[in-house]
Amino acid sequence: MFTLRYSFPAVNRRFPLPLVVLCLLVAASAQQQGDKNLKFKLQQLTFSGSKRYTQQRLMEASGLRPGDTVSGNSLQEVANVMGRTGAFSTISFRFNGATAEFTTIDSPDVVPPVFENILWYSDQELANGIRRKIPLFDGVVPTGGEMGLAIGHVIEDMLKEKGIANAEVEVLPVAKPGQTPNAISFAVTSPRVEISDMRLEGVAPALLPELAKALERLQNAEYKRTGSQEYCSSVLKNEYRRRGYLSEVVTEYTDAIVKSSADTVSVQLTVKIAEGRQYRVAGYNWAGSEILPAKIPDKYFVLKPGEIANGDLLDRTLRNFGAPYVSKGYLRAMVHATPELDEANQRVTYQVSIEPGAQYHIRNIWIRLPDPMKERLTQLFLLKSGDVMDPVYVRDFLFRPEVLKVTNGRGVEWMQTTHDDKKEVDLVLQPPRPASGAQ
């Protein structure tokens, strides 16, 4: 018996290939001769180990059938081809001159496909067409290996069947920075697929012009379902939120080709919306703390009781809640406002809570000004190394009349470097930089 180890070369940097171990047991005469090209008639073929694929699917992927004439080299190539798909973390086989036994371990690194803008077919039609050409496609795509690229080529062929002679499909892993892929996207890049028309359904007529204007950026933009629909949902959420619609929901997106040429495919995107109700503010519940008492000055409330629950004004109000914590060095304080809805009266009460987090201190202070300005500002600036960082004091210091006098009316600029690991801050006071475009 001899063992072959084969490490596949990288075909595409985005899809690293697995190590496949091949074990070949042949008849004694072949061992003695070391002839891996010696021909045998395959009498039996079995697969074991996979929990993802059936025997039938694996046999289709191998291209082998009992009765085929095989050799050590041809069986090795079958394993190579199957291994390069990325569907298996390892694949091995044994052959005794009559029976070939393949053992596979499914790769755990598989993710769903995302068909971004292949609108000539439904997702199910695409999946069926891919499965006919790639037996190991089972609704998921390995993040390593060549299957993703092979699927892209299959989709290009399917588009050519629809008369798209210049079809090109981009295959990319979808992942957040520093994380492993959570999907593989397939997008047509030629011809260009773009949004030519947007329709909003379920919207109050008075709101339609404003929402359409907010979504102008999507007009004639390249269409990819994930990015285009996420952007649309974000814009609509913000637009409804600032108008007090706290339960607005996009219920469905539909897309369809309305016009096509050799270079451009025009898409109509329809968005169905359930607006819900518009709410006004009933009030705020805040239990109070050592830093911020329960009785809060009216000036804190940019969004006041009785007003429409404008999300932008709520954010400004919550920043006011957090300001006393920031001035005490709690630079990462988190202010939460949990809405309690009175649906019958269309009123919302916000339950406010604050997570202070860690307190930050000043590590270094650098005043980068010429003497005697530096000496005088050092005397005026009361914060010292080791003190609790107070951004509010620093901000107010910049506009004090005596600071403007010392700097001949130019003032100073404040720069801050925050070291979250040590909960420390470096401060720099320096002359203001020239405005952009200033001579």
Which tens digit of pLDDT belongs to each residue from 194-208?
A: 999 999 999 999 999
Report field, pTM of the whole predicted structure over 0.85: no
Residue 305, token pair as written in the block: 């009781």
Mean pLDDT of the chain: 90
- In the prediction, which pLDDT does 35 show? 63
Q: Could you report the per-residue pLDDT of 368-380, keeping only the tens digit for each?
A: 988 888 999 999 9
- In the prediction, which pLDDT does 372 show? 85
21 and 39 within one domain: yes
Q: What is the domain-level CATH number for residue 163?
A: 3.10.20.310
Considering the domain boundaries, does residue 140 fall inside one?
yes
DSSP 292: S
Q: How far apart are CA 185 and CA 111, in angstroms?
A: 10
Considering the domain boundaries, does residue 435 fall inside one?
no
- In the prediction, which pLDDT does 259 show? 95
Q: How far apart are CA 102 and CA 146, in angstroms?
A: 20
Considering the domain boundaries, does residue 436 fall inside one?
no
Percent pLDDT > 90 in the chain is: 81
106-129: average pLDDT: 97
365 and 348 within one domain: no
Q: Could you report the per-residue pLDDT of 291-335, keeping only the tens digit for each?
A: 999 999 999 999 999 999 999 999 999 999 999 999 999 999 999
Residue 201, token pair as written in the block: 């359904």
Domain that holds residue 400: 361-430
409 and 399 within one domain: yes
Q: How far apart are CA 306 and CA 302, in angstroms?
A: 12
234 and 266 within one domain: yes
Considering the domain boundaries, does residue 285 fall inside one?
yes
Beta bridge partner(s), residue 102: 47, 93
- Asked which of 355, 386, 408 is the last residue of a domain, the reply is 355
- In the prediction, which pLDDT does 115 show? 98
287 and 250 within one domain: no
Confidence of residue 361 (pLDDT cuts 50, 70, 90): very high
357-378: average pLDDT: 93
Q: Hey, which bits of 65-147 come out as E strands?
A: 69-70, 88-95, 99-106, 110-111, 113-115, 141-142
**54-57, long-range: CB within 8 Å, 24+ apart, which pairs?**
57/135, 57/136, 57/138
83-90: average pLDDT: 96
427-438: average pLDDT: 75
Q: How far apart are CA 58 and CA 248, in angstroms?
A: 48
Q: How far apart are CA 42 and CA 36, in angstroms?
A: 15
- In the prediction, which pLDDT does 63 show? 96
Q: How far apart are CA 231 and CA 246, in angstroms?
A: 19
Write the DSSP assignment of 316-348 as a string of letters. HHHHHHHHHHHHTT-TT-EEEEEEEEETTTTEE
C-beta separation of 22 from 36 below 8 A: no
Considering the domain boundaries, does residue 47 fall inside one?
yes
Q: Is it the case that residue 93 has pLDDT exceeding 90? A: yes
- In the prediction, which pLDDT does 398 show? 86
- In the prediction, which pLDDT does 137 show? 97
251 and 313 within one domain: no
102 and 9 within one domain: yes
